[in-house]
Chains A and B, each alone.
Chain A
Amino acid sequence: MKKYYGLDLIREMSCAFAPSGCEDGLRDFVRAQVEDTCDGLTEDKAGNLLVRIKGRGVGYDADKPARLLIASHMDEVGFMIKEITPEGYLKFSVVGQIDPRVLCGRHLRIGDETHAVKGVIATKAIHLQTAEERTHATPAGKMYVDIGAKNADEASKLVSVGDYAVFDSDFVTFGKDDRFMKGKALNSRAAAAALIEVIRDLHGAATALPFDVYFAFTTCGEIGIKGAAVAANTVKPSLCITVEGTEANDLPDVGASSVVCRLGDGVVLPLADQGTLFDAGMIRATVSAAELAGAKTQIRRGISGWGEAAAVQQSMAGVRTMELALPGRYARTASVVALREDYVTLRELLKNLLRDWKF
């Protein structure tokens, strides 16, 4: 399989068909990107891909090596077809959390990673809605997918109940100097892409770390961080860095004191979310390292959300955990927007932290 780098890698990852529970195709892709540049990879029972870079040199205990886990989830929010109507329309369930207001009129790809059929999310036109219906967003349960089938028979030849679907969204760059990127699942896929590039760099630089690094590409992050919990118990690390996307709300109507993070202000370091209080020592060391390297970081000004770190921090007898996040606007919609330079900052900061380990 072809190897991808930089923007092309992000494009491939963003466009991959991998909603929670359907990560096989993306896992194969990631495997192919890193299998030549690591010291072994395995898959655990939750379908997580675990890529190891061995430690060596001063302080490395070859019999009982210490372990650092760096985890990023592969999956995206999506849909599952639950019914084919007599007229050939599809009813669906949402996989993960999606605001129903972002669904009307969206293009979908229905199927799996090997084949997909195109469709459009349909709802009743406004002039046909009752007064009551008009006062609130149509819930997902009342929406349909139109795949252009005449009837259930025709539809059944194209899709089946249980098929997955994802937003059909191109990856594009835009804005001045093409600084901005847009794609589905962009900031979490770009976070995973950063891990791929860091694996290659770490392997190539032959850095001597006194511990093994396990990069985990986890499953089912969007539906309750299930994969990360299993990865933690498989790897049993003493330290963990989770790398995810985080929602940026630097929008016109949002007051300055309510903006939690901004595109362009660099890698986001959360202090806490609803599931985790991150390790203050690791955060301090990272902020210092970033300052020395001239890398932009921003502390997230808000503690909402629930990332993968919670599952790892509270696994076994506890794991010191920190999160590095790529800011992205409009998370869990068809058009997540992030900055190319923030991606580069994230990738380079991770490389720096590993090359010049201070924790």
Chain B
Amino acid sequence: MLNLMKTLVSVRGISGYERAVSDKILKLVVPYVDKAWNDPMGNLIAFKKGTAPDGARRKIMFSAHMDEIGFLVTHIEDSGFVRVEQIGGINYVAASYAPVTFDSGLRGIMVPDVSAAPGDIKADRVLVDVGAKDRKEAEKKVKIGDFCALDGELIRLLGRRVAGRPLDDRIGCAIQIKMAEKLKDEPCPDDVYLVFSVQEEVGLRGARTAAFGISPDVGICFDVTGTGDAVGARPMACTVGGGAAIKLKDSSVICDRGLADELAAVAKEKGIKYQFEILAAGGTDTAAMQAAGAGVTAGALSIPTRYIHSGTEMLDLNDAEACAELALAWLRK
């Protein structure tokens, strides 16, 4: 899981521009599944047929998003500084002075107006310094329409805890890749669609259309969730290390309670560490799947994570592995 995450965080792909991430994941997942393809919006869908006879197989969709928050280049100043617009909910204060990488490979640093007070740091006062002397030099390496994102990173903390970015939601992608590996050796009765979705950070857009196309019976999302154990965190009975977080609701969705109870029962039976999660603010692909087409029974298994959307996020790989284990146990029950 650690090495897989190192690979996944090293690729840059913001909402709408996920191709490089999709290509990387495709290579990792294609040895284990029956079919893999990109749909019109760019979602990567990996399909594994179930063992039950025709007509007796349900369609189970899993979703983890490939996109990370980032920036689109909208203007290059005469001074050579690059002006960007944010894509996805970014904390500009947290991103200040952070190193970024462009899709071309060019490196830069996100810099606020140095005279701006922390409270004034907003999109129109943040630029990227690529070290160019002037516009001409900058234009040799970057153009309007390019994108950039904060550099990926993964550092080991104590135990099996890691910090870095973008853990949201490369950890979900890692879980799905691990599931594909396990399903190859031990398939389950139902058809499984592992969807690596696009454009989640800007409104759950990929999962919506992927779910319409697949029309699954059940949809389960793997994404990060907040915790109550960070300094000054809002009270929340969800902690890093507390196990796979079975989502009951977030601000975009009320999960199917029957499904949540099933997942809890399987976890209890198999001795998989789990906790419940109710997230006060934040949406996930779960909501998009639930309302797609004529509706889908939807739920989520979340990975408790501190400092989401900041410069550096933190989670426990044990929790991620518990999510994968629980999903597989549920598929095989």
Residues of A within 8 A of B (CB): 238, 257-258, 271-272, 275, 277-278, 280, 283, 299, 301-303, 313-320
Query: Are A302 and B74 touching (Cβ within 8 A)?
Result: yes
Residues of A contacting B43 in the complex (Cβ-Cβ under 8 angstroms): 318
A257 to B41, CA, bound (A): 31
- Contacts A/B (CB < 8 Å), 21 sampled: A238-B40, A257-B75, A257-B77, A257-B83, A271-B145, A272-B87, A275-B203, A277-B15, A277-B17, A278-B16, A283-B145, A299-B145, A301-B83, A302-B74, A316-B209, A317-B210, A318-B206, A318-B210, A318-B213, A320-B40, A320-B41
Residues of A contacting B40 in the complex (Cβ-Cβ under 8 angstroms): 238, 317-320
Query: Are B209 and A314 touching (Cβ within 8 A)?
Result: yes
Q: How far is the CB of B69 from chain A (nearest CB, A)?
A: 13
Residues of B contacting A320 in the complex (Cβ-Cβ under 8 angstroms): 40-41
Query: Are B85 and A318 touching (Cβ within 8 A)?
Result: no
Closest to A287 in B: B145
Query: Are B41 and A318 touching (Cβ within 8 A)?
Result: yes
Q: Does B208 contact A (CB under 8 A)?
A: yes
Q: Which listed residue, B72, B205, B212, touches A303 by the CB 8 Å rule? A: B72
Known contacts A277-B199, A277-B202, A303-B85; A318 and B74 CB within 8 A of each other: no
Residues of B contacting A318 in the complex (Cβ-Cβ under 8 angstroms): 39-41, 43, 206, 209-210, 212-213
Query: Are B72 and A272 touching (Cβ within 8 A)?
Result: yes
A318 to B85, CA, bound (A): 25
A313 to B15, CA, bound (A): 14
Query: Are B87 and A277 touching (Cβ within 8 A)?
Result: yes
A112 to B202, CA, bound (A): 39
Q: Does B124 contact A (CB under 8 A)?
A: yes
Query: Are A272 and B16 touching (Cβ within 8 A)?
Result: yes
Residue of A238, A272, A316 ringed by the most chain B CB atoms within 10 A: A272
Query: Are A317 and B212 touching (Cβ within 8 A)?
Result: yes
Closest to A283 in B: B145
Known contacts A301-B74, A314-B205; A280 and B210 CB within 8 A of each other: no
Query: Are A299 and B85 touching (Cβ within 8 A)?
Result: no
A302 to B72, CA, bound (A): 9
Known contacts A277-B15, A277-B16, A303-B85; A314 and B145 CB within 8 A of each other: no
Q: How far is the CB of A276 from chain B (nearest CB, A)?
A: 8
Residues of B contacting A319 in the complex (Cβ-Cβ under 8 angstroms): 40
Chain B stretch 195-226: residues in CB contact (< 8 A) with chain A: 199, 202-203, 205-206, 208-210, 212-213
Residues of A contacting B199 in the complex (Cβ-Cβ under 8 angstroms): 277
| Contact code string B13-27 (vs A, CB < 8 Å = 1, else 0) | 001110000000000
Q: Does B233 contact A (CB under 8 A)?
A: no
Residues of A contacting B144 in the complex (Cβ-Cβ under 8 angstroms): 299, 301
Closest to B127 in A: A257
Closest to A239 in B: B40
Which 6 A-B pairs rank lowest in CB-CB distance, beginning with the nearest?
Answer: A277-B16, A317-B213, A318-B209, A318-B41, A318-B40, A301-B74
Residues of A contacting B15 in the complex (Cβ-Cβ under 8 angstroms): 277
Query: Are A301 and B208 touching (Cβ within 8 A)?
Result: no
Residues of B contacting A315 in the complex (Cβ-Cβ under 8 angstroms): 209
Query: Are A301 and B75 touching (Cβ within 8 A)?
Result: yes
Residues of A contacting B17 in the complex (Cβ-Cβ under 8 angstroms): 277, 280
Residue of B17, B41, B43, B85 ringed by the most chain A CB atoms within 10 A: B41
Query: Are B85 and A302 touching (Cβ within 8 A)?
Result: yes
Chain B stretch 89-135: residues in CB contact (< 8 A) with chain A: 124
Residues of B contacting A283 in the complex (Cβ-Cβ under 8 angstroms): 145
Query: Are A271 and B209 touching (Cβ within 8 A)?
Result: no
A303 to B16, CA, bound (A): 13
Residues of B contacting A275 in the complex (Cβ-Cβ under 8 angstroms): 203
Residues of B contacting A301 in the complex (Cβ-Cβ under 8 angstroms): 74-75, 83, 144
Residues of B contacting A258 in the complex (Cβ-Cβ under 8 angstroms): 124
Query: Are A314 and B208 touching (Cβ within 8 A)?
Result: yes
Closest to B86 in A: A303
Q: How far is the CB of B234 from chain A (nearest CB, A)?
A: 27
Residues of A contacting B206 in the complex (Cβ-Cβ under 8 angstroms): 318
A299 to B147, CA, bound (A): 14
A320 to B206, CA, bound (A): 12
A333 to B80, CA, bound (A): 37
Q: How far is the CB of B254 from chain A (nearest CB, A)?
A: 22
A301 to B75, CA, bound (A): 6
A313 to B205, CA, bound (A): 9
| Contact code string B132-152 (vs A, CB < 8 Å = 1, else 0) | 000000000000110000000
Residues of A contacting B41 in the complex (Cβ-Cβ under 8 angstroms): 313-314, 318, 320
Closest to B14 in A: A277
Q: How far is the CB of A272 from chain B (nearest CB, A)?
A: 6
A302 to B85, CA, bound (A): 7
Residues of B contacting A317 in the complex (Cβ-Cβ under 8 angstroms): 39-40, 209-210, 212-213
Closest to A255 in B: B124
Residues of A contacting B209 in the complex (Cβ-Cβ under 8 angstroms): 314-318
Closest to A280 in B: B17
Residues of A contacting B74 in the complex (Cβ-Cβ under 8 angstroms): 271, 299, 301-303
A277 to B204, CA, bound (A): 12
Residues of B contacting A277 in the complex (Cβ-Cβ under 8 angstroms): 15-17, 87, 199, 202, 205
Q: How far is the CB of A259 from chain B (nearest CB, A)?
A: 9
Residues of A contacting B203 in the complex (Cβ-Cβ under 8 angstroms): 275
Known contacts A238-B40, A277-B199, A303-B85; A316 and B212 CB within 8 A of each other: yes
Residues of A contacting B87 in the complex (Cβ-Cβ under 8 angstroms): 272, 277, 303
